[in-house]
Amino acid sequence: MPHVSIIYPFSLVLYCRQEMDMATLYYQGHGSYRITTNAGTVVYIDPFAGKGYDQKADLVLVTHEHYDHNKVELVEMKPDGKIIREKDMLIGGVYRHAVVKDVTITAVPAYNAHHDKKECVGYLLETDGIKLYAAGDTSKTDYMKELGKEHLDWAILPIDGIYNMGPLEASSCAKLIGAKHTIPVHMKPGKLFDEATARSFTTDGRVIMHPDEEIPL
């Protein structure tokens, strides 16, 4: 079976917004992106790269404290906004659970030779009936088998092959996780995006996003 790749044109996002309410994902580049729920809750994940920090945040999620994932000063918080870091969600080896407005957050393992298991997490997010796995920086983990039981709608995986798994390993992980759609991110140090690297990641339901693009979830 050939691998299926989906690229959403911007016009589709505009149409969807006009016709119905739905959560959206905006990709800033590198490992940074923003989710906006149906109710208007704004969630930034690993702020660092690109544009798109103009919306005030209800929630900022940091997967780990490397400089290219934790630039929270880019984000203006709403009065009741929250910043959740890996140290808030991984305490004494226990992965924690939190609810912020209409978003449920569960920390999950993330690690490799460059990322200490005790200092890094991924996040499983649930909102508007959607389940999304934000992997953070990682390579293959044992927990990915459990993610395969979650019937995920979306998975967002790093594929740089330097500090994280490369496209081949990420493709294998995507199959193991089994999300309906998988977005490759975090492709080359110093670059927001790399087309060749993105296309070398292969899985059914692959969605390639370019910086400053937004899609319906």
166 occurs within a structural domain:
yes
CB-neighbour burial class of residue 94 (10 A; exposed 0-12, middle 13-18, buried 19+): exposed
Mean pLDDT of 24-52: 98
Mean pLDDT of 109-123: 98
In the predicted structure, residue 189 carries a pLDDT above the cut 80: yes
Number of domains in the chain: 1
22 occurs within a structural domain:
yes
217 occurs within a structural domain:
no
Rounded to whole angstroms, the Cα distance separating 157 from 194 reads 14
Given this model, what pLDDT does residue 5 score? 53
CATH number at residue 88: 3.60.15.10
List the beta bridge partners of residue 95.
90
Given this model, what pLDDT does residue 16 score? 47
- Per residue in 14-29, pLDDT (tens digit) is 444 444 478 999 999 9
33 occurs within a structural domain:
yes
113 occurs within a structural domain:
yes
In the predicted structure, residue 200 carries a pLDDT above the cut 60: yes
Q: Supply angle C-alpha 198, 200, 204, rounded to 5.
A: 85
Which residue segment(s) compose the domain that 118 sits in?
5-209
Please list, residue by residue across 7-46, b when 16 or more beta carbons sit within 10 angstroms of its beta carbon and e when fewer do: ebeeeebeeeeeeeebbbbbbbbbbbbbbbbbeebbbbbb
215 occurs within a structural domain:
no
216 occurs within a structural domain:
no
